[in-house]
Structure formats: C-alpha cells, structure tokens
Amino acid sequence: MAKPRIELCSYKDCVEAATYILELDGRRYALCRSHYRELLRRLEEKAAEYGKANLLDLDPKEVEGVVRSIRINRDSSSGRENAST
Ligand SMILES: [Zn+2]
C-alpha cells in the first residue's frame, strides 16, 4: 500500500500542509485550510457577478485566474528547503 504523501500548500511562500487538493482542468492545486478559504472568498467575489458562489459551478478558467499567484510544486516530497534545481 502506498503511503499517503503529505503535500504542502501550493500557495507562494506558504509552508502549511495542504488540507485540500483541487483538481481543475488537469492541474492539481494543494491548498492549506486558510488559503482554501481565501480562494473560496475570492471565487465568491467573482461568482457574485454571475449569481453563484459554488466552486464546482465555476469554470476552471475562472479558477485559473484566481489562483494565478499559486506556485505549483510538481514534487514537494523532498521539502521546500531543497532548492537544488
Ligand atoms: Zn497555504
């Protein structure tokens, strides 16, 4: 059995363990609780224009626009301190 891998939040400069994994349009966004809530708030602000505030109702492109500040870690298993790239 594979051991569940702990992912860190994909948000830039965030070191919290990811609580939520969003899979949108083939991309994965790992988010800690606080950043997930922040994302939802920002989505709701955008969604207010369309009269809906459900993440699942939103177009992935809308989410892309909101999470553009997220830095995706393709492999976070080695930790953020490993900056040898
Ligand atoms: Zn975070």
- pLDDT score, position 83: 47
- pLDDT score, position 76: 47
What spacing in Å lies between the alpha carbon of 48 and ligand 1's midpoint?
24
What spacing in Å lies between the alpha carbon of 20 and ligand 1's midpoint?
10
Per-residue pLDDT of 29-42, as tens digits, reads: 888 999 888 888 87
- pLDDT score, position 17: 92
- pLDDT score, position 1: 65
Q: Where are the beta strands (DSSP E) in the chain?
A: 20-24, 27-31
What spacing in Å lies between the alpha carbon of 31 and ligand 1's midpoint?
5
The whole-model pTM stands at 0.57
What spacing in Å lies between the alpha carbon of 70 and ligand 1's midpoint?
9
User: Higher model confidence: residue 77 or residue 41?
Assistant: 41
In degrees, rounded to 5, the angle at the alpha carbon of residue 7 between the alpha carbons of residues 21 and 69 is 65
Task: Reply yes or no on whether the pLDDT at 21 is more than 50.
Answer: yes
Tell me the residues surrounding ligand 1 (ion) with CB < 5 Å: 9, 11, 14, 16, 32, 35
Report the pLDDT averaged over residues 11-36: 85
CA neighbor of 38 nearest in space, from 59, 60, 61, 10: 10
